[in-house]
Amino acid sequence: MEILKDEAIVLKRKNVNDTNVSISLFTKKYGKINAIAYGVRSANKKEKISLNPISYIHCELKKTNDNYILSNYNMKKGYNKIYSNIDKLQIALYVVYTLNKTLIYSVVENELYERVEKVLDYLEQIDKMKLKSKDYRNKFLISYLKKLMIDIGIYDSGIKLDTIKNIEKYINNYLGIDIDYTQILIGVDKNANKWLLKSRNYKFRFGF
């Protein structure tokens, strides 16, 4: 058994039974891994929140063969401003959702890891009123998706990728996955994805 110490971004959390949860983590040193955390659902509120998607944690893992147990963890960054604003939260959840879909287990992605931290920090600090603009949200996500493709080595500058739907289709076909922004919409109706159509030619610059 190995003891691994690292930092990680929580991508997904799934209840296993009444007390335990399965956690998908994007770790800095070891890439994407799945780990079991025992007793989390009966733990105190602070410990539970630390394993919510988007949370940035320090973690200690016990590794046996290809199995991981999350034995200790504490919050590094909680991103409270993201969680308190639905527009920020929706984008941040899409970021970790796409990472969970695209990342390959145990492949270290240093540049992507640093970029994702910058994306979440940017969302935490950005004026929430800017995200009221559908064009701004659209440009933000297109910029993120293109940089994600560059970091994982599948970007093709010769293909026109100017809408979220087009980019998702390209990634899905290339990797054989099923990314779909509408699957993580929060508290909006089914027609809310109309803004995913090509945005007007505004020039936005993002800090990631």
pLDDT at 53 over 50: yes
**pTM of the entire structure?**
0.87
Query: The dihedral of CA 197, 199, 187, 97: what is its sign?
Result: positive
| Average pLDDT rounded to a whole number, residues 90-114 | 96
Please check whether the domain covering 2-77 is classified as CATH 2.40.50.140. yes
What SS3 class is residue 6? strand
Structural element, H or E, at residue 146: helix 134-152
pLDDT at 208 over 70: no
Tens digit of each residue's pLDDT (9 = 90 or more) over 59-76: 999 999 999 999 999 999
| Average pLDDT rounded to a whole number, residues 107-121 | 96
pLDDT at 148 over 80: yes
Tens digit of each residue's pLDDT (9 = 90 or more) over 171-187: 999 999 999 998 887 65
pLDDT at 207 over 90: no
Report the DSSP beta bridge partners of residue 96.
Answer: none
Check residue 206 and give its pLDDT. Answer: 59
CA–CA dist 153, 36 (Å, integer): 30
String of DSSP letters for 119-136: HHHHHHHS-TTGGG-HHH
Average pLDDT value over all residues in the chain: 87
Check residue 39 and give its pLDDT. Answer: 85
Share of the chain above pLDDT 90, in %: 76
Structural element, H or E, at residue 35: strand 31-37
pLDDT at 42 over 70: no
pLDDT at 199 over 50: no
* Helices 164-175 & 86-102 angle (0-180, nearest 10): 20
| Average pLDDT rounded to a whole number, residues 100-114 | 96
Domain ranges of the chain: 2-77, 81-196
Proportion of the chain in helix, strand, coil states, percent, rounded to 5: 45, 25, 35
Q: Which residues contact 23 (CB under 8 A, 6 or more apart)?
A: 10, 12, 13, 14, 34, 35, 36, 37, 51, 70
